[in-house]
Structure 1
Amino acid sequence: MLTNDLLSLEEREAVIEMRHAMHREPELSNQETKTQKRIIETLKRFGLGGARTFHNTGVYIDIEGLAPGPTRSIALRGDIDALPIQEDRDDLPYRSQVPGLMHACGHDMHASIALGTALAFHRMRNNFSGRVRVIFQPAEEAEPLGGRTVAEEGLLVGFDAAVGFHVDTDIPAGSFGARAGAVTKSSEQFELNIIGTMAHGAESHAGVDAITITGAFINEVQKVVSREMPVDDGAIITIGTIHGGEATNIICPSVVMTGTIRTSSPERRSLLVQRVREVAEGVAATHRGRVEFTSQSGEPAVVNDAGMVERFRQIVIRSAGEDKYVQIKPSSGSDDFGFYSGCVPSIYFQFGSREPGNETGVHTPTFGASDKILIPATELAIQYCWELLHD
């Protein structure tokens, strides 16, 4: 049975120090070399050797319990990459020192929570059985995704559960949230090359206008969502970029557009991609053109295990109070923790950061979160993993 103050003073200082160091020196997805080195060195400083690397810039460490008892295995993830955003927070003494980069999504906090969890379980290894694998995962924000590597390299094989978390600017600081079922959407990226025939603008009949086909496609493809998808799926088709045209008096011969396809249903992921392709081909054929369509699977939807969510709710109520638990709303965003939840029963919970001075959302130049929420979130993660090990 664990109590409050699950982290020693030295461990707390290490958690805060890691957060500040990462925030000062943010690194983009798949470039987290300094962060990787900093994590490994900090683990060694506390006696945790044997850290292993993956996905070039990732790190994971196994803490084996030495006590007799159940031999359950629990994985916990903290992502480590930053974003190409210029920070606009001069009030932070640990603000980013790298022009154009910042931790605008809280991954500096996520990684620090993961560090605190590893340090605590290492110190308590004589008091628990089983295994805790702490994964410091790179490249959550951009391809090639670190979460996909976790799944493909079998880093969750033999594990009973996985734990992930994310700072939430919609939840008050000091509160925590979760929900059963899909909490994010899957994400597929597509590229569509619409091919027509060039002609003089005064003789449009002699050409095939790729821009006209593009306009028709944009209108028609949204009907896949409004007429073919269940309302509660919340499917989204977004056209993100369009490039085409050479002059004001030339019938455009080709347009390239890119976009994303999102759904909360694993079963409808491939169907949506198929229908986008079919609509593009049909519209192009109607207008005497043709298309080249390619797609890339991104993050699966993150799906929370109902039993794990209920256990989390009980822990929050017991440790922080009934008013500190929030039933979160599903997000239309994506997270590659979906690769984890596709492998083992998982939970992806939220810890709140909203308070005066920290009210703007993630992925913005003014995003920020107070250090004071970091230790409670870390100790909650430790308590939760402890109970999962002794289920």
Structure 2
Amino acid sequence: MRTPSNGLLSDAERDAVIELRHALHREPELSNAEWRTQERIRSTLQRFGISGTKVFHNTGLYVDIEGTASGLKRSVAVRGDIDALPIQEARDDLPYCSQIDGVMHACGHDLHGSIALGTALAFHRLRDNFSGRVRVFFQPAEEAEPLGGRTVQEEKLLDGFDRAVGFHVSPEIPAGAFDAREGAISKSADQFKLTITGKMAHGAAPHQGVDAIAIAAAFVNEVQKVVSREMPVDDAAIVTIGTIHGGNATNIICPLVEMEGTIRTRSPERRALLSERVREVAESVASMHRGRAECVIRTGEPAVVNDAEMVNRFRKVVHETIGREAYTDKKRAGGSDDFGFYSACVPSIYFWFGSRSPGNESYVHTPTFGVSDEVIIPTTELAVRYILDLLSV
């Protein structure tokens, strides 16, 4: 496995990328509150002569880099998310560990934003060497509603673009390796809130009431049959009940239960069916037990779908730049990512870059998650090479 030469980033650009990573990690900000992060990115871009940044979703930024060479006028968008998570960091071995209590970059968005910065800096300096346009998104709120990716879609910020590129760190893959596969590589994520209404009665006279807790228990069991008996096994659909709240006394038949959960699937067609079946099961189970159910479903991010041609070109770039042994195509995500809004608008790729190395084996969304700086510049270089390739076809 070869490490790509640093021919696409200057020393100053490399330093700026690593400096941003450390700064973002030291001062992480939660979804929809990335104000310092936004200003830090804007000022770094300005320091390198990049102006014209535009704000979206309040705390996000994007910037267009226009190539001046003659040739095809392709346009490629690049997304780096920038928000952190409400987790207390448990890494005391890092000189740049989080200084914000209860908040850390436990999903690698400090790396993603830094790679996006390096991409913007490289294309700005190389603008005489390509034609077309590169739009770099520093996207807030990937982790929590309201989602920044939804704003990209709703505000039509990808109109006129040919392709979009996203990426994510993965501790499941060795540092220096990359992974991409065609088709749906994550799941859609829709949330539901279920309110079950029964009738209060004394615990010694249950026949005089309607037990909302009993209805809730029946729903939890029955809704799983939608997944196990109505969905194809290879879809790996999931219905999760995340919260249940009901009752306030041990001797009273509970009249009201509120439940919240998520619905996940890789299939756009089965996505609508799953939501409808969750509602139908809730209403039917409640009615069978003489109660009522109201189910409100909030549509979240769609599945991320990788374009086959883009995956093939990415594989070729990895093979030629780093080596065949650096590429895999086995990883799928059981979770979701609002890059799905991008892939719903234009042909897209979402690739994984590996981070597993001694001392950095913990999974994302854990207090001990960490990634070496050493993966950042090679990943940035690979992204730049790949985008240059996309601009040429």
The TM-score range, normalised by the shorter chain, is: over 0.9
For residues 260 and 354 of structure 1, the distance between their equivalents in structure 2, rounded to whole angstroms, comes to 29
For residues 328 and 294 of structure 1, the distance between their equivalents in structure 2, rounded to whole angstroms, comes to 35
Paired residues for 1:180-219 under 5 Å: 180-219=182-221
Choose which of 229, 232, 237 in structure 1 pairs with 2:231: 229
Specify the SS of the correspondent of 1:316: helix
In the alignment, what sits opposite 1:116? Answer: 118
The offset of 1:327, in angstroms, is: 1.2
Identity %: 70
In the alignment, what sits opposite 1:369? Answer: 371
Choose which of 126, 129, 133 in structure 1 pairs with 2:128: 126
For residues 129 and 366 of structure 1, the distance between their equivalents in structure 2, rounded to whole angstroms, comes to 43
For residues 281 and 55 of structure 2, the distance between their equivalents in structure 1, rounded to whole angstroms, comes to 43
Q: TM-score, normalised by structure 2?
A: 0.98
Q: Does 1:92 align with 2:94?
A: yes
Show CA shifts across 1:70-90 (max 9, x none).
Answer: 000000000000000000000
Q: Which amino acid aligns with 2:296?
A: T
For residues 162 and 130 of structure 1, the distance between their equivalents in structure 2, rounded to whole angstroms, comes to 14
In the alignment, what sits opposite 2:298? Answer: 296
For residues 379 and 3 of structure 1, the distance between their equivalents in structure 2, rounded to whole angstroms, comes to 8
Q: Does 1:17 align with 2:19?
A: yes
Show CA shifts across 1:357-385 (max 9, x none).
Answer: 00000000000000000000000000000
In the alignment, what sits opposite 2:332? Answer: 330
The offset of 1:328, in angstroms, is: 2.8
Specify the SS of the correspondent of 2:205: helix
The offset of 1:4, in angstroms, is: 4.7
Show CA shifts across 1:332-370 (max 9, x none).
Answer: 100000000000000000000001100000000000000
Q: Which amino acid aligns with 1:18?
A: L
Choose which of 381, 384, 387 in structure 2 pairs with 1:385: 387
Moved more, 159-168 or 322-331: 322-331
The offset of 1:269, in angstroms, is: 1.2
Choose which of 136, 139, 157 in structure 2 pairs with 1:137: 139
Cα RMSD of the aligned pairs, angstroms, is 0.9
Q: Which amino acid aligns with 2:68?
A: L
The offset of 1:329, in angstroms, is: 2.3
The offset of 1:236, in angstroms, is: 0.1
For residues 181 and 230 of structure 2, the distance between their equivalents in structure 1, rounded to whole angstroms, comes to 26
For residues 195 and 322 of structure 2, the distance between their equivalents in structure 1, rounded to whole angstroms, comes to 54
In the alignment, what sits opposite 1:305? Answer: 307
Specify the SS of the correspondent of 2:65: strand
Q: Which amino acid aligns with 1:146?
A: G
Q: Which amino acid aligns with 1:68?
A: S
Q: Does 1:171 align with 2:173?
A: yes
In the alignment, what sits opposite 1:65? Answer: 67
Specify the SS of the correspondent of 1:268: helix
In the alignment, what sits opposite 1:239? Answer: 241
In the alignment, what sits opposite 1:41? Answer: 43
Specify the SS of the correspondent of 2:78: strand
The offset of 1:321, in angstroms, is: 0.8
For residues 113 and 23 of structure 1, the distance between their equivalents in structure 2, rounded to whole angstroms, comes to 14
In the alignment, what sits opposite 1:280? Answer: 282
The offset of 1:5, in angstroms, is: 2.0
> Contact 2:52/2:63 (CA < 8 Å) preserved in 1?
yes
Q: Does 1:149 align with 2:151?
A: yes
Q: Which amino acid aligns with 1:221?
A: V
Q: Does 1:254 align with 2:256?
A: yes
For residues 4 and 246 of structure 1, the distance between their equivalents in structure 2, rounded to whole angstroms, comes to 63
Moved more, 328-337 or 19-28: 328-337
> Contact 2:67/2:133 (CA < 8 Å) preserved in 1?
yes
Show CA shifts across 1:47-104 (max 9, x none).
Answer: 0000010000000000000010000000000000000000000000000000110000
> Contact 2:306/2:348 (CA < 8 Å) preserved in 1?
yes
For residues 122 and 214 of structure 1, the distance between their equivalents in structure 2, rounded to whole angstroms, comes to 57
For residues 341 and 330 of structure 2, the distance between their equivalents in structure 1, rounded to whole angstroms, comes to 21
The offset of 1:153, in angstroms, is: 0.5
For residues 226 and 197 of structure 2, the distance between their equivalents in structure 1, rounded to whole angstroms, comes to 22
Query: Which 5+ residue runs of structure 1 have no aligned equivalent?
Result: none
Show CA shifts across 1:187-233 (max 9, x none).
Answer: 00000000000000110000000011011100000000011111111
> Contact 2:72/2:392 (CA < 8 Å) preserved in 1?
yes
In the alignment, what sits opposite 2:353? Answer: 351
Q: Which amino acid aligns with 1:107?
A: H
For residues 95 and 120 of structure 1, the distance between their equivalents in structure 2, rounded to whole angstroms, comes to 27
Specify the SS of the correspondent of 1:202: coil
The offset of 1:3, in angstroms, is: 7.1
Show CA shifts across 1:160-183 (max 9, x none).
Answer: 000000000100001000110001
Choose which of 309, 316, 319 in structure 1 pairs with 2:318: 316
Q: TM-score, normalised by structure 1?
A: 0.99
For residues 269 and 101 of structure 2, the distance between their equivalents in structure 1, rounded to whole angstroms, comes to 42
The offset of 1:268, in angstroms, is: 1.3
The offset of 1:326, in angstroms, is: 1.2
Equivalenced residues, count:
390
Show CA shifts across 1:286-321 (max 9, x none).
Answer: 000001110101110000001101110111111111
> Contact 2:179/2:331 (CA < 8 Å) preserved in 1?
no
Q: Which amino acid aligns with 2:88?
A: Q
For residues 318 and 387 of structure 1, the distance between their equivalents in structure 2, rounded to whole angstroms, comes to 12
Moved more, 2-11 or 113-122: 2-11
